[in-house]
């Protein structure tokens, strides 16, 4: 049995969860999330705790056991406190600003790049740092990765969009032969 899967997910106050067959709906102050789970796991709710039980003892059942518990914990954490990814713009003239909900970035291209956030995602800008916030951990990570992909950090000068704690390995430039 999975060590992670054995732990019960405690539902904090202010968060409600309801199980309907293999789907789980979680509502909290940051929004609501719903997800359908694999039929090889059982989801039970007893006195403000959600427990996940594998249906069998196969390799698939064991892997789904821990995965399902982690996905449920992320849902509960997301609607309660939310998730955030921070990206940093590195480069001369690189700027980001908000126009309504849309993120507009000047990244050295001939045109500004506009990104409209999907439902449940918001952007905050503090100087050269863009914060992607939302209740769904997967969606926050995907939007942050899509933004980074627009101008990945290059290895010679280090300019581009990088995660706030990402370390960019720098390469040495060309040297003249003597």
Q: What is the pLDDT of residue 2?
A: 64
Indicate the pTM of the whole model: 0.89
Give the count of domains, the chain.
2
CATH of residue 148: 3.90.930.12
Identify whether the C-beta of residue 161 lies closer than 8 Å to the C-beta of residue 154. Answer: no
Q: Sheet of 113-115: strands edge to edge?
A: 95-99, 102-106, 113-115
In a domain, 44, yes or no: yes
Domain boundary among 42, 62, 80: 80
Record the tokens describing residue 174, joined without a space: 């060309």
Asked if residue 100 and residue 64 are part of one domain, the reply reads no
Q: What is the pLDDT of residue 3?
A: 83
Tens-digit pLDDT profile for residues 113-159: 999 999 999 999 999 999 999 999 999 999 999 999 999 999 999 89
Asked if residue 97 and residue 42 are part of one domain, the reply reads no
């Amino acid at each position: 049995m999975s060590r992670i899967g054995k732990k019960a997910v405690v539902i904090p106050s202010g968060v409600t969860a309801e199980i309907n067959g293999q789907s789980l709906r979680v509502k909290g102050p940051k929004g609501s999330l719903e997800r359908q789970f694999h039929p090889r796991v059982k989801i039970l709710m007893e006195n403000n705790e959600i427990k996940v039980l594998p249906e069998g003892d196969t390799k698939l059942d064991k892997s789904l056991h821990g995965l399902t518990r982690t996905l449920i914990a992320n849902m509960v954490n997301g609607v309660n406190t939310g998730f955030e990814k921070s990206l940093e713009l590195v480069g001369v003239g690189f700027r980001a600003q908000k126009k309504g909900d849309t993120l507009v970035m000047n990244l050295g291209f001939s045109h500004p790049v506009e990104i409209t956030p999907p439902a449940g995602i918001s952007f905050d800008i503090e100087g050269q740092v863009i914060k992607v916030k939302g209740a769904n951990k997967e969606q926050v990570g995907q939007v942050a990765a899509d933004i980074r992909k627009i101008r990945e950090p290059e290895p010679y000068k280090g300019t581009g969009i990088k995660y706030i704690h990402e370390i960019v390995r720098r390469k040495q430039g060309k040297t003249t032969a003597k």
